[in-house]
Amino acid sequence: DGGITQSPKYLFRKEGQNVTLSCEQNLNHDAMYWYRQDPGQGLRLIYYSQIVNDFQKGDIAEGYSVSREKKESFPLTVTSAQKNPTAFYLCASSIRDRSSYNEQFFGPGTRLTVL
């Protein structure tokens, strides 16, 4: 059945290492998003992509990178330049971005802990 998968669910990383979080969707959605969630705060947009081979920075893109080589996949790399990477990361997708009635579908999330 259709949905969004994120892997792994829990990820531990040593300081100074890059790490890539996976996000795959089989909903045939054009738009995909990466959010970061910290305790007591709303979701913050890291990057989004409205179409293959195109992506834009969100509100907190520094220290992160993405690629969108396939419609189904939108991996997020947390680089060593990200000063405070420990957080819960959520991936989402939607049919299209520029719509008032756009519903985003979320993956189960990846909890990243930097040791």
Partner 1 sequence: KNEVEQSPQNLTAQEGEFITINCSYSVGISALHWLQQHPGGGIVSLFMLSSGKKKHGRLIATINIQEKHSSLHITASHPRDSAVYICAVRSSNYQLIWGAGTKLIIKP
Site of interaction with partner 1 (CB under 8 A): 40-45, 88, 90, 92, 97-109, 111
* CB of 57 vs partner 1, minimal distance in Å: 13
Please report how close the Cβ of residue 35 comes to partner 1 at its closest, in angstroms. Answer: 8
User: Considering beta carbons, is residue 37 or 77 the nearer one to partner 1?
Assistant: 37
CB of 78 within 8 A of CB of 48?
no
Specify the residue, 19 or 92, whose C-beta has the smaller distance to partner 1.
92
Contact 109, 46 (CB under 8 A): no
Smallest distance, partner 1 to C-beta of residue 1, A? 15
Of 14 and 98, nearer to partner 1 (C-beta) is 98
Within 10 A of 93 (CB to CB), how many other CB atoms are there?
26
What does DSSP say about strands 76-78 and 105-106: parallel, antiparallel, or unpaired? unpaired
Peptide bond into 8 cis (omega under 30): yes
